Structure 1
Amino acid sequence: MKRIGIIGVGEIGRALVEGLRDPAGPTPEVFLSPRGARTSADLSERYEGVHVCADNQQVADRSELVIVAVRRQDRHEALDGLRVDGSKVAVNVMAGVTNDDLRSMLATDTARTTHATPAAPATDATLVRAIPLPSVRERRSVTVTYPSHPAVDSFFEQLGGALPVADEAAFDVFSALTGTLTAHYAYLATLTSWAAGHGIPAPDAEHYVRGLFQAVGRALGDETRSLQQLSADHETPRGNNERIRTTWFDETNAATLSNALDDLINDLRHPPDHRVHP
């Protein structure tokens, strides 16, 4: 697609724009909403073919593929009154917001010509959920999509890969997995703080920890070995790695993580604003 719109220009919106700027080939025009005004203005100044629109409606009108990337709690305010023509494809990247939820918020474009009331029919545009990660900026993000759609899957293939899933239940599992990212960074920060507490200069500790886990990231690129095999290959019996894994990341720790993910997926499937209270 040659015209991409992004409504809600936060970290993911910025990463998408940066990933689409391919110096080796043609790039699509990108239309940004005024939400996240500073980020939108910065991107339009840095990149040719990136435009800041007057409002969200202009983004939808000018684009073939519209990416809805506002925060879940802001969606009603941001999307109120937005009309999306049936010829468009809308990509829903809001965690915990189903396509049915989004469809109910978007009006059909007939509202423009019939002066329809707020109860006007919902849009008949194609809606696809997706989970792009910040690494789309380096074209290294495998993006989960549901349902599979050729144009959307092709769009994300150029940003690192698309992983279509069979249903929304599977999509929610992948969405929950993304909630572990900052816990990983916090884990690395804890290692750094521990080393600094034992007299290592903090910059040296952080430099070493970064290098240590960048090497782990490169090892993950070897998909001929399972994660269990990679773990085993990095351990020796009664060695340092085995000791930390078995004394810290034990069955209790693993169960706590699984329970936290179960709670998260429950919230994704039944967000607080959709729950029925007695």
Structure 2
Amino acid sequence: MERIGIIGVGEIGRAIVDGLYYRGDEGCGDDEAPEVFLSPRGRRAAAELSQRYENVRVCPDNQAVMDRSEIVVIAVRPQDRHQALDGLTVAGDTIVVNVMSGVGNDDLRRTLATDAPIVRAIPLPAIRERRAVTVTYPSHPVTDTLFERLGGALPVADETAFNVLSAVTGTLTTHYAYLDALTSWAVGHGIAPGDADRYVRGLFQQVGRALSDETRGLRQLAADHETPKGNNERIRTTWFTPANSASLAGALDQLLDHLEGRRSDARP
């Protein structure tokens, strides 16, 4: 049975635990549940998870998480990492998984003063239902197996590639804000808020289901959902123009510069 530790039980920490114990819609499991050791950071969430799952335990401190685990996920906020991690002793055979945005492995290695393996990863909230692919660098058989269990692993060749996909991940809340803008527009034209919200959610849940068809590329999916001179084509060509697309690319370039340490004025 694996022993997995999590230091920093926020949204991603909770999602990892839920994913490890996920049993699907029919409540059946396909693997043995691991032991999970949680840090006291995020006390309320850690206590709730330990009550929900039999093999989840809250440790008295972060060193206890390190001492009891074969794999330790570091999921604290980047600005809190020194307070949470300074002075910890890491055994040489412990595998450290770094999920802190914008914190490179060399930086974390200096903080932990360890030669133990360190793997960067970008787990997304959907891993709680084993429905998201997790980018990893460098590839490691143990961590890749862990994330395959949680929906899939996507090892990349170098930290530059990792940062590119990390920048793409930074568009997630923009998507939600876009949906909110659509809902607000409908409400402004007389649709009841509950009806507008329900319709927009249903519309884009359909898009999510279409994305599961990996036999068609994204451009082909767009074409298949568009009628020449129809409503979808009109919005795409009048709103998502080449200038709009270039603006998005520029924002992503700025974020990538920040992630790679080339800018000091960009915000995470």
Identity percentage of aligned residues: 68
Task: State the partner residue of 1:111.
Answer: none
> Alignment partner of 1:34: what SS?
coil
What stretches of structure 2 of length at least 5 have no aligned partner?
24-28
Native 8 Å contact 2:22 2:130 kept in 1: no
Native 8 Å contact 1:66 1:88 kept in 2: yes
Note if 1:148 corresponds to 2:148.
no
Which letter does structure 1 place at the counterpart of 2:247? Answer: T
- How far the C-alpha of 1:271 sits from its partner, in A, is 7.5
- How far the C-alpha of 1:236 sits from its partner, in A, is 1.2
Native 8 Å contact 1:84 1:123 kept in 2: yes
Query: What is the aligned counterpart of 1:174 among 165, 182, 206?
Result: 165
Query: What is the aligned counterpart of 1:91 among 79, 91, 97?
Result: 97
Q: 1:220-239: CA deviations, max 9, x gaps?
A: 11111111111111111111
Query: What is the aligned counterpart of 1:269 among 242, 260, 265?
Result: 260
Which letter does structure 1 place at the counterpart of 2:190? Answer: G
Note if 1:207 corresponds to 2:198.
yes
Native 8 Å contact 2:39 2:46 kept in 1: yes
- How far the C-alpha of 1:76 sits from its partner, in A, is 1.0
- How far the C-alpha of 1:46 sits from its partner, in A, is 1.1
Native 8 Å contact 2:136 2:155 kept in 1: yes
Task: State the partner residue of 2:26.
Answer: none
Task: State the partner residue of 1:139.
Answer: 130
Number of positions where the alignment pairs a residue of Structure 1 with one of Structure 2: 260
Which letter does structure 2 place at the counterpart of 1:199? Answer: G
Q: 1:139-191: CA deviations, max 9, x gaps?
A: 01100000100000000001000000000000000111110000000000110
Task: State the partner residue of 1:255.
Answer: 246
Moved over 2 A (4+): 271-275
Task: State the partner residue of 2:21.
Answer: 21
Structure 1 pair 22/245, CA: closer, same or farther in 2 (3 Å)?
closer
Q: 1:185-238: CA deviations, max 9, x gaps?
A: 000011001111111111111111111000001111111111111111111111
What stretches of structure 1 of length at least 5 have no aligned partner?
107-121
Query: What is the aligned counterpart of 1:74 among 59, 80, 102?
Result: 80
The TM-score normalised by the length of structure 2 is 0.94
Structure 1 pair 27/231, CA: closer, same or farther in 2 (3 Å)?
same
Which letter does structure 1 place at the counterpart of 2:178? Answer: Y
Structure 1 pair 164/274, CA: closer, same or farther in 2 (3 Å)?
farther
**CA RMSD, 1 decimal:** 1.5
- How far the C-alpha of 1:251 sits from its partner, in A, is 1.0
- Looking at structure 2, the residues matched to 218 and 171 of structure 1 have their Cα atoms a distance apart, in angstroms, of 26
Task: State the partner residue of 1:193.
Answer: 184
The TM-score normalised by the length of structure 1 is 0.91
Which letter does structure 2 place at the counterpart of 1:21? Answer: Y
- How far the C-alpha of 1:273 sits from its partner, in A, is 7.7
